[in-house]
Amino acid sequence: MIYSELPAELFEDIASRILYEDNHVLVINKRVGEIVQGDKTGDEPLSETLKAFIAQRDGKPGHVFMGVPHRLDRPVSGIAMFAKTSKSLERLNEAFRTGGVSKIYWALTCSAPNPAEAELTDMILRNEKQNKSYICKNGNPEAKQARLRYRTLRQFDRYTLVEVELFTGRHHQIRCQLAGIGCPIRGDLKYGAPRSNRDGGINLHARSITFNHPTRKEPVTVVAPVDWPPFVQE
């Protein structure tokens, strides 16, 4: 397969955002608006851009494999992981499925959580037509359990920086559960934020991931810097 050559600016941008890479795994800091895998919009996903990047950088004449073991919503930024071989994809898929991957997110919420730290367990029901999830209180058999733990990191004048440890991977889980305690994420109109962000995204960031390497079986931790308003200091 012949991949189109990336423009120099895009090539350099992709190279600058790769957080971890070896022969089996690639982790990149996804930007708001990028899609991880192809969808109905027809926009080019990161998986395809990365194939072209690898082919160009490494001078690969043939097909480049780039599997997707997990996904991030389009308005969310942060860690997006890809598998560079079918074997690593199979093993990473299993690790995500069985909870063998530790995922930490940062969120800027419109209100301060009370209490400042807690574990949330809810039953969540996805509405595919609306592309939205709801906390379900009536025992709907289609609802799925969603669990996370949050803690307040810092309070600003109008927003609160909250760290979230995700235990399950439900549709819009963090957005839905934080909104359920009265703390919608900055910019997230769908879940109750009062105004949108200029870039169309929301201030939810996949901050770090820890996983067992699919071939070396050693733990690997990757952290993604945030590109948020200047009042958020790392």
Residue 200 and residue 211: Cα distance in Å, rounded?
30
Q: What is the pLDDT of residue 215?
A: 93
Q: What is the pLDDT of residue 234?
A: 47
Domain residues for the domain of 22 are 8-223
Q: Is 89 part of a structural domain of the chain?
A: yes
Q: Is 82 part of a structural domain of the chain?
A: yes
CATH assignment at residue 55: 3.30.2350.10
Q: Is the pTM of this model over 0.85?
A: yes
Q: Is 231 part of a structural domain of the chain?
A: no
Domain count, the chain: 1
Q: Is 228 part of a structural domain of the chain?
A: no
Residue with tokens 């949330």: 120
Q: Is 135 part of a structural domain of the chain?
A: yes
Higher pLDDT, 113 or 3: 113
Q: Is 233 part of a structural domain of the chain?
A: no
Q: Give the distance between the most distant pair of CA atoms in the chain.
A: 56
Give pLDDT tens digits for 74-111: 999 999 999 999 999 999 999 999 989 999 999 999 99
Could you give the C-alpha distances from 86 to 1, 25, 37, 50, 214, in angstroms and in order? Answer: 18, 11, 16, 16, 11
Q: Is the dihedral of CA 63, 67, 72, 73 positive or negative?
A: positive
Q: What is the pLDDT of residue 232?
A: 65
In percent, how much of the chain has pLDDT > 70? 98
Token digits of residue 158: 């109008």
